[in-house]
Chains A and B, each alone.
Chain A
């Protein structure tokens, strides 16, 4: 009986582990299709509820959803802050779940998202939040690229920054184009598993805006 119970519970546990990773996979697939604030809000809830392994991924994706919402709400500074704050918290949680000595590639992914989250804080009101969070965003992105120079998502964010920044502050549309193209090349044919693979649509959208 005891044995049976143990077997059963082990089976249950592994089943729940399986469903969790399954849930993560499902959510990530949905994320690839998400477009609206509403979509990302729903997904953020889903990711927050997932506790499967690897631990950093669900926080990472939740933070990404919040960053995406911030970008979509760019012109509505009143609304952004709660998303930014949650995104920052989640990104930091993801960092804490990683082994900073070994998991350089994974850390680069999270830093990239954290850089985006700080960018959304700038949108709240560039005049009041711009200096502090613009600077933080740049620094975090630098860290991401130092850890993984060819990370296509870090390249994309760098391209976006170069595109959106006024010329006098170092903006450069041609460099943006170069970086986005490079990012696209790195992405090749992105996978569909749970490991971060987004960026292609974002690169293409950005490139379409640059002559």
Chain B
């Protein structure tokens, strides 16, 4: 899994090696720019550029692109703007796009679980969308204290829009943040690849048809950490795996002049079983095993109908089965069942099967100067059938949304995007109305002010809906002001925001929507590709002031996943003479609060020590077989995460009586890897040329 990132990194190095394109790499970029994209449109079949979601003015050379609250990484990035490769090749990202994006401002450095915690929001309040469809379970099933890998290779995306607030009315069901991902179209050429690391291996191919109009491909990845864990001791004692198996296939075809039909299917299996000393009794060990079976399938189609009309259709189906087992064992390994609290909570089984599907249609009417009107609808269907010990867990929900959005110019240098989204949930029997507005004002020096306002609704997690309830949507209102300046291969971005959370789910005393909270902060981003030759770095700072009363919090508290100050640095340097790339990331965050909450009051609290994580990746690039028809692009990659060996404490687990606490730390102080990878591609430069000249 994580290997993928290194391969990406290597490819990125080749691409960033000034003035010379990457020689190989499987399916990084499409040969021909897509007929359009979700984020920015450019029709490849005509010479004019059609703007869609992004507003562009042809009245001057200066386009006004609305960007409050968002980081866009696009395959058309210019200067110091982010490319998808920049975004995902941050050292320590483990091939998980949401982990990689933690190096951008707004995100918290959460080391004990997967997901993206944005601006005082939980990981569940950030949602991932691929080609418009929601990815419900982007990571393998969670286990306590150890983040689990992402299922979907960040390779797949040519456009990444990380919105830390104020996003478009085309998306919903994410209160704090949306990760809007756009998958690649046709690969540049036919290629095959494999990688081999001690605990990860994988192979795959992409085939591009002779006429460059269709392609298919498949990948298989297998990861088994047990060998690695026998060499590098881990804090939990693994009795099963960790094992991850993943396969995916894709099929893409151009239809007509501007149509693109894409199918992507991903399926995976994982098994992680581990034991930790039980916190309530020194004689016992608490076991936890999570097994998961998952399939995510996405079929999408987009095309221009006439010159000014465009449609985007998407359907997704996913199946997810998660099985978790908890047990207690004594010193000899015998399973125990202790029938009183708190031990009775520590044994049991839970199985959950979820069918989730979504249909979506968006129609866009394009107006001159890149103005546009979009409208559409989507329907989500969720069907959960599960069992927790002896109780049945059942939920069926139909969520329907309709939305409309307009992009227009109020003046030459002032663009607006206004939208409205209406959602109805059958499980909640509620309808909600979410308005969204953003403005962009461009100054003469090319810098820009952006302003955004919006209301964002999200259904309570399914876990709360299995029992009879009167819950409604939770929501957040965002207010964002942002300033960006891009010049001379440098990029500065500053953003302030205020957010109000309403109707958050409370579990104590009783299930209700009586929770609330706020978040406000300042974020800075500075990227510089110019000052030092072949060196690319960015620095971010995040200030976050947030409090919320939700779940079992007795009153409004700074949540345990929110650090007030966070700084990240990402540095990438390519040493041309020795064909070596060095990639360093460093993140520092002030301590996070922790609490022991018992009987609706706080019996113990504190702040963890500061988080300080330094990661290093080094890659040496080479070619084993020169001058063949199948050129190879290969390399050796190695890396260390948490070089300084800092003891990272993410929080504390408390004993039932609150007298003992044990820190939640990394499973191993440092994490190492070394391995090789190869990619072979058929050089089809000539075909490519014939289609372009």
Which residues in A have some Cβ–Cβ distance to B below 8 Å?
75-82, 119, 122-128, 130-136, 139-140, 161, 164-171
Contact = CB atoms under 8 A, between A and B. Distances in A.
24 contacts: A77-B489, A78-B446, A78-B488, A79-B79, A79-B487, A125-B78, A126-B19, A128-B76, A130-B16, A130-B19, A131-B21, A131-B29, A132-B29, A132-B31, A135-B21, A136-B692, A139-B685, A166-B20, A166-B574, A166-B579, A168-B17, A168-B623, A169-B20, A170-B20
Interface stretch (B80-88, B221-229, B357-365, B539-547): B80-88
Given A126-B19, A131-B29, A135-B685, 4 more contacts: A78-B486, A131-B22, A133-B21, A166-B18
Contacts, number: 113
A122 B77 contact: no
B11 to A, nearest CB: 10
B14 interface: yes
A133 B16 CA distance: 13
A76 B486 CA distance: 9
B621 A168 contact: yes
A164 B83 contact: no
Nearest to A160: B19
A139 B689 CA distance: 8
A150 B76 CA distance: 36
B21 A134 contact: yes
Interface residues of B, number: 45
A131 B188 contact: yes
A179 to B, nearest CB: 15
B489 A168 contact: no
A130 B22 contact: yes
Given A77-B80, A128-B75, A169 B685 contact: no
Interface of B: 12, 14-23, 28-29, 31, 61, 74-81, 83, 85-86, 188, 446, 486-489, 530, 574, 576-577, 579, 621-623, 685, 688-689, 692-693
Contacts of A133: 21
A80 B488 CA distance: 11
Contacts of B530: 75
Contacts of A161: 19
Nearest to B75: A128
Contact of A127 (B86, B577, B621, B623): B86
Contact of B487 (A78, A82, A123): A78
Nearest to B24: A131
5 nearest CB pairs, A to B: A77-B79, A134-B21, A131-B21, A78-B79, A169-B20
A167 B78 contact: no
B23 to A, nearest CB: 7
Contact of A76 (B15, B488, B576): B488
A156 to B, nearest CB: 15
Contact of B81 (A79, A125, A126, A166): A125
B624 to A, nearest CB: 13
A136 B79 contact: no
Contacts of A169: 14, 17, 20, 23
Contacts of A170: 20
A76 B489 contact: yes
A79 B487 CA distance: 8
A140 B28 CA distance: 23
A167 B18 CA distance: 11
Nearest to B623: A168
A165 B20 contact: yes
A125 B20 contact: no
Contacts of B76: 128
